[in-house]
Amino acid sequence: MWRDALLVAGKDLRIELRSRVALWQVLPVAVLSLVLYAFALGPVRHTLASAAPGLYWLAVLFSTVLATQRSFAIESGEGTRDGLRASGIDPAGVFLGKAAAVAAELAVLQVVLWAAMTVLFGVHLHTAWLALVASLLATLGLAAAGTLYGALSAGLRVRETLLPLLVLPVLAPVLLAASRAWSGALSGSVSDGVSWLRVLGPFAAVYLVIGIVLYGPLLEAG
């Protein structure tokens, strides 16, 4: 399973490197959304700074949907979905590989987004390690749940509208917990922030496990 996961992750990332879709489309949209939030909330520094963690994670959330859609669009070329299934590759490996690739893309995205947020909203990280750990756990959870739902809706004709409807409610707790954790990291109230890790960790663990277990039947249902 791990070998197959590495294989699929490598393939997805290599394709991304060649096509640079995430780089040139998903990333700009994410940064753009930060700008749009400023338009929506008004230019007052104080408002933006206090809303910053939530807005940041909102941007990451929507980027997850886009990245997940992209991940499954890779396999929408004629025959590739069949080819992947027909090769007899371990479905759990496909899940982990795809989720890992999405997670990697989200990680890179967050670095840029974080830099943009520092500049645009004028916030400073007080407790960097908390923010980092929260990011790590949240990213894993987002990638796992996103990939799971991506597979659920892959190949369905109404995929573009169905995927957000399905996955965003599931990701809502991550949005909540990650925003609170980052809020703690920004303001320095570490104990508050750390308690939210207790949501992010289990979320990521649960959805990774579910993905590993249920991806097989899911692929069959496609």
The binding track of 114-153 with respect to another protein, each residue x by CB under 8 A or -, is -------------------------------x--xx--xx
Please report where in the chains the tokens 């959870």 appear, as a residue.
Answer: 141
- DSSP state at residue 74: G
Residues 27, 109: contact at Cβ < 8 Å? yes
Given candidates 56, 72, 182, 203, which one binds another protein under the rule CB under 8 A?
A: 203
**The pair of three-digit structure tokens given for residue 204, joined into one six-digit string:** 């990521």
Residues 174, 203: contact at Cβ < 8 Å? yes
The binding track of 82-101 with respect to another protein, each residue x by CB under 8 A or -, is xxxxxxxx------------
φ, ψ for residue 158, nearest 5 deg: -95, 25
Based on its alpha-carbon atoms, the radius of gyration of the chain, rounded to whole angstroms, reads 18
Q: Is 13 in the site for another protein (CB under 8 A)?
A: no
Report the interface residues with another protein, using CB under 8 A. 4, 7-8, 11, 14-15, 18-19, 74, 77-80, 82-89, 145, 148-149, 152-153, 156-158, 162, 165-166, 168-170, 172-173, 176-177, 180, 195-196, 199, 202-203, 206-207, 210, 214, 216-218, 220-221
